[in-house]
């Protein structure tokens, strides 16, 4: 049975005056953010702007230096089994000898506890998740042998198998083909229409505008929160990216500083289609 989603009137995630970072480097400063349950949210901003850090705070993978993080009405980490976290593809050891089925079954482990073996309900949940992401025929394949898009599908199957109330996805559609991107976003839209919440980071402004209902512009602080049309707002883009974003015709050219790049970027420029106004 699926985890009951939070009610539509409640906040799935709330951060109040949150500051966080690594060692002595601040990644987020005095962040206030509230995300209603049932939202499909994209967080966009420059590399080094704190997008991944925010997800890790919500997933209770790191602790804030100050402030309050509440998730599904509880302090972060209180009910971890209702949260599915999908990291950036670059952070996964793809050489680890596990099959697609094994990866999807990992989503069930928080429900099993340390000593219980998967039962029929767990096997059924994994089979359904693989079917939904189009990976049932590759269930026995080693994860490292798959294409980038297939790997992302397998990890989304792991998240779906967990039957969470909240999805946290770090760059879920980066580096995948258009078909995979459309399929993954359709699945997330289906989950949020059922009352669950999905929060994803992205560098792709066009994807944020096209696929998400709500966007958060983030550069260490929350710059703006609102409908997906915010990615068309020159003022929001200027305040989010500063001098690192240049709009040329129908393209937004993101030029991040090399010393701010995470492992996904490699110091290159990123070109994003700028959606036409409708």
For residue 202, give Cα distances in angstroms to 98, 215, 218. 28, 10, 11
User: What's 99's DSSP letter?
Assistant: B
Predicted pLDDT at 204: 87
Q: DSSP for 55-69, please give it.
A: HHHHTTSS--SEEEE
User: What's 97's DSSP letter?
Assistant: -
Predicted pLDDT at 264: 36
C-alpha dihedral sign at 243, 249, 252, 257? negative
Full-model pTM:
0.83
Predicted pLDDT at 253: 57
Predicted pLDDT at 272: 40
Paired strand residues for 246: 253
Q: DSSP for 107-170, please give it.
A: GGHHHHTTTPPP-HHHHHHHHHHHHHTT-GGGTTSBGGGS-HHHHHHHHHHHHHHT--SEEEEE
> Chain-centre distance of CA 193, in angstroms?
17
- Give the Cα separation of 62 and 35 in Å (integer): 19
> Chain-centre distance of CA 26, in angstroms?
21
Predicted pLDDT at 4: 45
**Three-state secondary-structure class, residue 50:** coil
Query: CB within 8 A of 179, min separation 6: which ones?
Result: 149
Q: What is the pLDDT along the chain (278 residues), one digit of tens a residue?
A: 444 444 444 899 999 999 999 988 999 999 999 999 999 999 999 989 999 999 999 999 999 999 999 999 999 989 888 999 998 876 677 677 899 999 999 999 877 766 778 889 999 999 999 999 999 999 999 988 998 889 899 999 999 999 999 999 999 888 788 888 899 999 999 999 999 999 999 988 888 999 999 999 999 999 999 999 998 888 999 899 986 655 544 555 555 544 344 433 333 333 343 333 33
Return the closest-CA partner of residue 195 out of 54, 13, 3. 3
**Three-state secondary-structure class, residue 263:** coil
Instruction: Kindly tell me the number of DSSP H helices and DSSP E strands found in the chain.
Output: 8, 13
Predicted pLDDT at 239: 92
Q: Identify the helix (H) or strand (E) that includes residue 11.
A: strand 11-22
| Domains recognised in the chain with CATH numbers | 11-273 (3.40.50.300)
User: What's 240's DSSP letter?
Assistant: H
245, 254 contact by CB (below 8 A): yes
199, 35 contact by CB (below 8 A): yes
């Amino acid at each position: 049975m699926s985890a009951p989603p939070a009610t539509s009137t409640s906040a799935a995630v709330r951060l109040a005056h949150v500051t966080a970072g690594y060692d002595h480097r601040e990644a987020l400063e005095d962040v206030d953010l509230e995300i209603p349950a049932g939202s499909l949210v994209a967080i966009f901003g420059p590399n080094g702007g704190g997008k991944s850090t925010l997800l890790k705070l919500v997933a209770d993978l790191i602790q804030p230096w100050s402030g309050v993080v509440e998730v599904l009405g509880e302090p972060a980490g209180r009910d971890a089994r209702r949260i599915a976290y999908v990291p950036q593809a670059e952070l996964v050891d793809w050489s680890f000898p596990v099959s697609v089925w094994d990866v999807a079954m990992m989503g069930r482990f928080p429900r099993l506890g340390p000593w219980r073996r998967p039962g029929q309900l767990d096997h059924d949940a994994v089979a359904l998740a693989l079917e939904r992401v189009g990976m049932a025929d590759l269930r026995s394949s080693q994860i490292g042998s798959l294409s980038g898009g297939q790997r992302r599908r397998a990890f989304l199957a792991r998240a779906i198998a967990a039957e969470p109330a909240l999805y946290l996805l770090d760059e879920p559609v980066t580096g995948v083909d258009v078909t995979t991107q459309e399929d993954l976003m359709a699945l997330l839209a289906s989950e949020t229409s059922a009352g669950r919440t999905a929060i994803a980071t992205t560098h792709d402004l066009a994807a944020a505008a096209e696929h998400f209902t709500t966007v958060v512009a983030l550069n260490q602080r929350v710059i703006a929160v609102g409908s997906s049309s915010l990615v068309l707002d020159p003022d929001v883009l200027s305040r989010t990216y500063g001098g690192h974003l240049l709009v040329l015709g129908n393209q937004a050219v993101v030029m991040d500083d090399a010393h701010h790049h995470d492992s996904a970027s490699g110091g290159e420029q990123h070109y994003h289609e700028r959606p036409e106004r409708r």
